[in-house]
């Protein structure tokens, strides 16, 4: 429709033909247009039910809920790992539901970052989410090294995207480990993980990715590509709820080894309650767990992952691409001349699940959108992120959001707000 006028009648037809349209009714969304699912996904009725089921197990079985509940807690992390594996192209034993992105990064760096000789450096980038860099720097300090000398960060030429060839140019035999985002949190650029992994392995570099902004939005083939490890949160596209337990992937060639940081649930489950002071690590990614699983923060994910199983991640990705394409086309159609710039890649194979809009009044525009019952996301200093989620955003929702955005800037409704972020952007 790039050369034709996009009308409400047209987007209604898209909704009528949408094979995922019925999933919208699975989610709680009334009275607002939600465009921030790349920060926190909405609650589904299915997740509400699986959380209620674990509460009922606690109520009915007490301590026996660990093994006798409807969803036994002792095996829940492994079950969720197996349910997650198809979304990232992994084997069930390579995936576990545990920790958070940062705690899992510390675990995996403690396991795989072993600086010795001249191979002491970490390769990252300047656009990654700050907490990943915090973790990397602290790991470098832990080994008695200086991040100023041992952290190599690839710079962006435009401030929003990365060039894979520039990343590869930084690779050499001084690099011990690499960590990059699969999708850049600000611009939504999707990196070529396969290309990066292949190049890094040529130099003997351990490869890790942060999948926070790709898991649940698009399919991956981590095992096929040979990625060494990956981490993610589950409260964005996976809709597990605020603070939902994260996850990690470790390629099968690394399984069976002791984790860098050992803990109670690192153990082989058949030996865990032998109470030996010598750890027998699990033969699966379960070895990289630490403490007791957070059951009530994990249970909602079971319901959400059931929806992914029913919808199919390929179908989710296809609709996501169509939604973001429609959003970009409508921005060009309706908002030309109002100071907006689309900063995310336009090609489908280079774009994640959200659209990155640049505007000098981005913060105040986001506040005005909220006043109009549209929930966007602001990222300092000038980014508006809009994420139409395949499960619960209709094509007509996208159309309506752009019209509301046009009304705001046309009538300067943003002027009533300060152009600065709130405490949480």
Segment 371-398, tens digit of pLDDT:
999 999 999 899 999 999 999 999 999 9
Q: With the CA atoms of 112, 116, 119 and 125 taken in that order, what torsion angle do they form, in degrees rounded to the nearest 10?
A: 50
Q: What is the pLDDT of residue 420?
A: 85
Q: Given phi > 0 = left and psi -120 to 50 = alpha, else beta, which region is 113?
A: beta
130 is in an annotated binding site: yes
This prediction has a pTM of: 0.96
Q: Which two tokens stand for residue 4?
A: 């034709």
The token pair that represents 153 in the structure block: 């960060």
- The mean of the pLDDT values for the chain is 96
Q: Are 191 and 136 in contact (CB under 8 A)?
A: no
Rounded to an integer, what distance in angstroms lies between the CA atom of residue 202 and that of residue 195? 11
pLDDT for the residue 422: 80
Residue in the block written with tokens 């005005």 = 368
pLDDT at 10 over 80: yes
pLDDT digit string, tens, across residues 131-142: 999 999 999 999
3-state class of 152 per DSSP? strand
DSSP 312-339: -HHHHHHHHHHHHHHHHHHHHHH-TTTT
Residue 146 C-alpha from the chain's centroid: 29
Q: How many CA atoms lie within 13 A of 308 on its CB side?
A: 28
**Does the annotation list 324 as a binding residue?**
no
Given a cut of 90, is residue 98 above it in pLDDT? Answer: yes
Distances (CA, A) of 245 to 240, 302, 363: 8, 12, 30
Burial 193-221 (b: 16+ CB within 10 A, else e): beebbebbbeeebbbbbbbbbbbbbbebe
Torsion, Cα 18 20 25 30, to 10 degrees, reads -60
* pLDDT band of 4, cuts 50, 70, 90: confident
- pLDDT at site 54: 98
- Is 61 marked within a binding site? no
Residue identified by tokens 């999948």 is: 211
Report the candidate in 352, 355, 379, 353 with the shortest Cα–Cα distance to residue 366.
379
Cα torsion through 124, 126, 132, 138, rounded to 10: 80
Mean pLDDT score, 183-192: 97
The pLDDT score that the predictor gives to residue 1 is 52
Q: What distance in Å separates the CA atoms of residue 399 and residue 326, rounded to the nearest whole number?
A: 8
From residue 343, alpha-carbon distances to 53, 136, 227, 386, 418 in Å are: 43, 27, 28, 12, 23
Q: What is the DSSP string of 193-237?
A: HHHHHHHHHHTT-EEEEE-TTTTTTS---HHHHT--EEEE-SSST
- Is 120 labeled as ligand-binding? no
Q: Is 102 annotated as a binding residue?
A: yes
Annotated binding residue 67 = no
292 is in an annotated binding site: yes
On whether 53 is known to bind a ligand per the annotation, the reply is no
Rounded CA separation 220/388 (Å) = 20
The SS3 assignment for 192 reads: coil
Count of CB atoms within 10 A of residue 260's CB?
Answer: 16
Specify the pLDDT at position 327: 98
Name the nearest CA neighbour of 407 among 334, 344, 356, 345.
334
pLDDT tens-digit map of 99-149? 999 999 999 999 999 999 999 999 999 999 999 999 999 999 999 999 999
pLDDT in tens, 334-375: 999 999 999 999 999 999 999 999 999 999 999 999 999 999
Read off the pLDDT band of 2 (50, 70, 90).
Answer: low
Domains parsed from the chain with CATH numbers = 8-30+312-416 (3.90.1150.10), 49-310 (3.40.640.10)
Residue 131 among known ligand-binding residues: yes
Sheet holding 383-386, edge to edge: 341-342, 355-358, 383-386, 377-379
At residue 170, what are phi and psi to the nearest 5 degrees? -80, -10
User: What's the pLDDT band for 285 if we cut at 50, 70, 90?
Assistant: very high
- Pick from 149, 133, 370, 111: nearest CA to 266: 111
């Amino acid at each position: 429709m790039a050369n034709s006028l996009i009308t409400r009648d047209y987007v209604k037809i898209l909704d009528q033909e949408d094979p995922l349209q019925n999933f919208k009714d699975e989610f709680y969304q009334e009275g607002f247009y939600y465009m921030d699912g790349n920060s926190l996904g909405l609650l589904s009725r299915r997740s509400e039910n699986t959380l209620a089921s674990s509460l009922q197990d606690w109520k009915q079985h007490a301590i026996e809920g660990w093994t006798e509940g409807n969803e036994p807690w002792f095996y829940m992390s492994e079950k969720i790992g197996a349910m997650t594996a198809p979304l990232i192209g992994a084997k069930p034993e390579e995936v576990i539901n545990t920790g958070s992105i940062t705690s899992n990064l510390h675990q995996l760096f403690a396991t795989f970052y072993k600086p010795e000789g001249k191979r002491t450096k970490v390769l990252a980038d300047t656009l990654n989410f700050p907490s990943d860099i915090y973790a990397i720097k602290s790991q470098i300090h832990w080994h008695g090294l200086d991040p100023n000398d041992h952290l190599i960060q690839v710079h962006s030429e435009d401030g929003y995207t990365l060039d894979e060839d520039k990343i590869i140019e930084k690779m050499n035999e001084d690099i011990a480990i690499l960590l990059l985002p699969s999708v850049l949190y600000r611009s939504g650029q999707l990196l070529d993980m396969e290309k990066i992994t292949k190049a890094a392995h040529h130099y003997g570099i351990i490869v890790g990715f942060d999948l926070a902004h790709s898991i649940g939005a698009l399919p991956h083939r981590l095992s096929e590509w040979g990625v060494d490890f990956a981490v993610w949160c589950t409260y964005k596209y996976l809709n597990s709820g605020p603070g939902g337990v994260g996850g990690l992937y470790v390629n099968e060639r690394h399984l069976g080894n002791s984790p860098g940081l050992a803990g109670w649930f690192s153990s082989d489950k058949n030996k865990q309650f032998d109470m030996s002071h010598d750890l027998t690590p699990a033969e699966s990614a379960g070895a990289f767990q630490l403490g007791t699983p957070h059951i009530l923060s994990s249970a909602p994910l079971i319901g959400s992952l059931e929806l992914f199983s029913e919808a199919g991640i390929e179908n989710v990705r296809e609709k996501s691409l169509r939604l973001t394409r429609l959003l970009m086309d409508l921005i060009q159609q309706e908002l030309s001349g109002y100071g907006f710039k689309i900063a995310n890649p336009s090609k489908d194979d280079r774009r994640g699940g959200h659209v990155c809009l640049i505007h000098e009044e981005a913060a105040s525009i986001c506040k005005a959108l909220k006043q109009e019952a549209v929930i966007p996301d602001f990222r300092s200093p000038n980014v508006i992120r809009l994420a139409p989620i395949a499960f619960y955003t209709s094509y007509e929702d996208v159309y309506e959001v752009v019209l509301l955005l046009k009304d705001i800037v046309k009538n300067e409704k943003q002027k009533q707000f300060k152009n600065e972020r709130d405490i949480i952007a």
